[in-house]
Amino acid sequence: MLIINNKPADAAVLAGDYPEDSAARTVIDTLAASDKKYYYDSLDELQFELRLREEIISASRRLHKSNMGFEVFRESRANPDYWIRRDNGGFSLKNGVKASDAVRDIYESSSKYGTECATAMQIVYLGALLEIFPEDAFNRMFKNLYLMNWNNVSRYLRDTATMHRQDDYLPGDRRYFANPDVNPETPEWQGENTIDLDGELYYGHGMGIHKAERIIRELNQNRKRNAGRDAYLMDSAARPDFKRLFALYQDATQNASVTRLTA
């Protein structure tokens, strides 16, 4: 059930504002039909989440179409004009470089980059937020940006690092395909971080955009000898803290308005 400002929402009216095949429409329909109650303080808060989820999907598709390579950490690479590649394979923002410019460069100069799927998920989230937040606010939030694995996540995206059982799975969620019997000689195939695009298709860096069955089949081809367990889609998901990000967005846009009025 969808609750806005402590009142049941008219999902049919809300859904009518979005195309039938859109991610936003899918989210509204799913939340409205759920046995769980989903609370939003305002319509603006819900609309923010819907927009961010759609931007996450858009960023996933843009990264999929890019030339960013799939590389294990020991062989990762990044444009040295914007990033310092650390010995562990992570990327830290260079001093004097704006986070917005550095993230944008990943999409625009993608052939200069190579990393694995966890880092790619963070790049997706950053690319989505960059489309929504004022640039000054984005740069303040991510001024000490460091990209690597789920142990090194910006505090604004920390919730995307931890998988939880969910009552419902939604477009824009991070899902994980586990490969419990992975070949120890190819540990990079131990699983695949993905973004749920529409409940049927998933984007995983290095794997591409596929249905779950195809991703599982690819992982199964990289199991140890005499493996007894198939790869599988975990019944959990991670997602940004949309409520917190909305509060930050409100502060950022209100401050920007005040600045424009007093300039």
**What is the token pair recorded at 85?**
């590649």
Which pLDDT belongs to residue 149? 85
Q: What is the tens place of the pLDDT at every residue in 18-38?
A: 999 999 999 999 999 999 999
Q: Residue 152 has what pLDDT?
A: 85
- The number of residues making up the chain comes to 263
95: confidence class by pLDDT, cuts 50, 70, 90: very high
- Band of pLDDT at residue 256, cut at 50, 70 and 90: low
Specify the pTM.
0.94
Angle of helix 117-132 versus helix 99-108 axis, rounded to 10? 120
Q: Which residues contact 81 (CB under 8 A, 6 or more apart)?
A: 94, 97, 105
Q: What is the mean pLDDT of residues 226-243?
A: 96
pLDDT at 54 over 90: yes
Tell me: the pLDDT tens digits for 153-180?
999 999 999 999 999 999 999 999 999 9
CA angle 241, 246, 247 (to 5 degrees): 105
As a whole number of angstroms, the distance between CA 231 and CA 250 comes to: 42
Chain mean pLDDT for the chain? 94
